[in-house]
A and B are shown apart, each in its own frame.
Chain A
Amino acid sequence: MVEVNAHTRIAPPDACVQIEGLCKSFSGQVLYEDFDLTLPNHQFVSIFGPNGCGKSTLINMISGLIPFDRGTILINGKPMRRSRIGYVFQNYRDSLFPWMSAFDNIAYPLKVKGMSQRDCRDRVEQLIETFNIRLDLKRYPYSFSGGQQQLISILRALVADPEVLFLDEPFSALDFETTLFVRDKLQEIFMTANLPMLMVVHNLEEAVYLADTVLLLSKRPTHLVARVPFDAPRPRTPDTLSSPEFISVSRHCLDIFQEEMRK
């Protein structure tokens, strides 16, 4: 106990997100009570849990979209107001700006910071080159397919060089085929950018497939049930899905989840 307290003021150097004593209630219903969580750097972390346990609420609180009642959240040791984060919304249709071209959408976080138009253009071009994106960005978002639109949202979240990327159910508005496309592209980005990512998903297989660590959450009041590592080599491919490692980790997560649901 004393040891834990001694660590509270200084984040471990390899922690990108550190949450301590987080409390959050919604209209009298306790969602989080003294919730602690440390997320390692350089990792892809998936969050999985039962419906209504507040998975999305958690990343919304970390990214400053929803206020919380008590506790501290630090990103790389700084309060989130002073850190750079990227956030990918569940529904690209409602989060991209249809009145701007795809290019202007991607450049928007830079424009908001007051960056000159030339620097914006250079940065976006550099970004699409790094990740090998071939889209005609002069077009408006709605003229792209769903998968391409979600990819544009991801690029927009990456353009301002975030310290950590949050993804709130990024595949849930996509059909199966485009999910595969965006998932592969996301893995490619993760491997190239070496950027910690935290993703909320509602599908266990999705959670395990991309993750270095799967966090399993409980029913309300929410706490961390298990932290399951998955270290299959990257890039992961459809073959990964049939590897014994993947099957045993998925099975393990499912067992924990089902046991939690019975409580």
Chain B
Amino acid sequence: MIIQTGRSPSLSIGSLSIWVDRLLPLLGVVLLFAVWWLIAVSGWVNQVLLPTPFDTLVQLVSATVTGNMLTDFGATVLRTFEAFIIAAVIGVPLGVALGSSERLYRSVEFLIDFFRSTPASALIPMFILFFGVSDFSKVIIAAFSALLLILFNSAYGVINAKRSRILAAKVMGANRWQTFRDVLLWESMPQTFIGLRSGISIALVIVIVAEMFIGTNQGLGKRIIDAQQVLNVKDMYASILITGLLGYALNMLFLVFEKRVIHWSGK
């Protein structure tokens, strides 16, 4: 019965469900804001500690447009990219080089894995000893942690290159250098991009932590901790939101870039 009579309504239900499917990713966001709002207005949590989402967004916009949010944002972005570029420029070629000799990689594998497993934040005091509390110091420690991620991903990309393609190059008469340039390097790229994407994420994490604890004039990390210290919670939440947006945007940027460069991935 239902199947017979439900013909014309099912069409509109169908187009509606497509719309619902499209809006599905926003559902979680709306839900979070709703719960946040509910908690903020219900009085369960002290108003001083938790402003409403609306107040936070207003603060975010006003601090961005009229305040100095953009200066802090820019400083953090700049440090993150500086760290990332240093890490990528050293990490990719070095990783590829290490990966093309598996024995060479095995000999330094433990070192890479050890420092990769050590939380980079644990090394901040050491870096302060060596590089002081300068801006350079923050960039260097972020670069260091991103470097290891990028390096070992590039190395594994080369190590796990498809053997059949290397053989194909060999049987066509390619020498070692040509095989490296035309096959190994390309074969390693999908994995290298995973390293670059995780690398910029970790660089942002470390830059924020370093800004909080090493101290600086500008930066989102510093802004968050300062706002917390003076109980300017609206600005703290606004800064957290924009930091999250930054992390998300960086990830998306790399995903889009990756899809364009590695057009053959999964095909």
Chain A residues within CB distance 8 Å of chain B: 63-65, 85, 87, 89, 91, 94-99, 108-109, 112-113, 140, 142, 156, 160
Contact = CB atoms under 8 A, between A and B. Distances in A.
Contacts, number: 53
B264 interface: yes
Contacts of A142: 264, 267
Interface in B207-265: 263-264
Tell me the dominant secondary structure on chain A's binding face.
Answer: loop
Interface stretch (B6-14, B19-27, B107-115, B159-167): B159-167
Interface centre among A87, A91, A112, A156 (most CB of B within 10 A): A112
Given A98-B264, A98-B267, A142-B267, A112 B174 contact: yes
A142 B162 CA distance: 16
Contact of A112 (B164, B165, B172, B263): B172
Tell me the dominant secondary structure on chain B's binding face.
Answer: helix
Contacts of A64: 170-171
Contacts of B162: 94
Contacts of B171: 63-65, 85, 87
A140 B264 contact: yes
Interface centre among B167, B169, B174, B263 (most CB of A within 10 A): B167
Contact of B164 (A63, A95, A160): A95
A109 B172 contact: yes
A95 B178 contact: no
Contacts of A89: 164, 167-168
B182 A97 contact: yes
B151 to A, nearest CB: 22
Contacts of B267: 98, 142
A160 B172 CA distance: 9
18 contacts: A64-B170, A65-B167, A65-B171, A89-B167, A94-B164, A94-B165, A96-B168, A97-B182, A97-B183, A99-B263, A108-B169, A108-B172, A109-B172, A112-B169, A112-B173, A156-B172, A160-B172, A160-B173
A241 B35 CA distance: 73
A99 B264 CA distance: 6
Interface in B148-204: 162, 164-165, 167-175, 178, 182-183, 186, 189
A65 B164 CA distance: 10
B263 A140 contact: yes
Contacts of A156: 172
Nearest to A64: B171
A97 B264 CA distance: 9
B264 A95 contact: no
A99 B267 CA distance: 11
Contacts of B167: 65, 89, 95
Nearest to A91: B164
Nearest to B174: A112
Contacts of B182: 97, 108, 112
B171 to A, nearest CB: 4
A46 B264 CA distance: 34
A112 B264 contact: no
Given A108-B182, A142-B264, A97 B165 contact: yes
A236 B9 CA distance: 60
B160 to A, nearest CB: 13
Interface centre among B169, B173, B186 (most CB of A within 10 A): B173
Interface centre among B170, B175, B182 (most CB of A within 10 A): B182
A95 B164 CA distance: 6
Nearest to A87: B171
Contacts of B168: 87, 89, 95-97
Contacts of A112: 169, 172-175, 178, 182
A89 B162 CA distance: 13
A97 B164 CA distance: 10
B263 to A, nearest CB: 7
Contacts of B173: 109, 112-113, 160
B176 to A, nearest CB: 12
Contacts of A98: 264, 267
